[in-house]
Amino acid sequence: MMDIHQILKQLPHRYPFVLVDRVIEIEKGVRIKALKNVSINEPYFVGHFPHRPVMPGVLILEALAQSAALLGFDTLGITPDKNTMFYFAGIDCVRFKRPVEPGDQLILEMAVDRVRSGMWRFKGHASVDGNVVTEAEIMCTIRTLDEV
């Protein structure tokens, strides 16, 4: 389990782009279950959409990727420094099944599918009240800034 203070030590993201509030479960090298509380105060709701606020799908994918990064760093047993980045490398099999709205609690579940040549592949989904809202396969890689 990780609280927001531990998450901020692992992820380079800061407000308004930290999209994981808490890690509920983590099994090193296997899976992670995290949550994002979706509040009406999120800055993107001002324009997406003013008459019916909906969390942008790309931000749900970003929340899944941040969860995957937390699992990756935990698996490797490292705390990244300011020069360590966990980059998106690809997304496959994305499905959006229902909108995510203010007041929802987004449960983010990702599992390691494989790691090969420094490329991580995760499979997972986001759900609200036990119903899957988004599913995806996400590829990521860890790089230090001097490699980029």
Catalytic residues: 48
Count of all residues that appear for the chain in the document: 148
Cis before 49? omega within 30: yes
pLDDT (tens digit per residue) in 92-147? 999 999 999 999 999 999 999 999 999 999 999 999 999 999 999 999 998 888 76
CATH class of 4-147: alpha beta
Q: Where are the chain's structural domains?
A: 4-147
pLDDT (tens digit per residue) in 33-91? 999 999 999 999 999 999 999 999 999 999 999 999 999 999 999 888 888 888 999 99
- Model pLDDT, residue 147: 63
Distance CA 43, CA 46 (A): 6
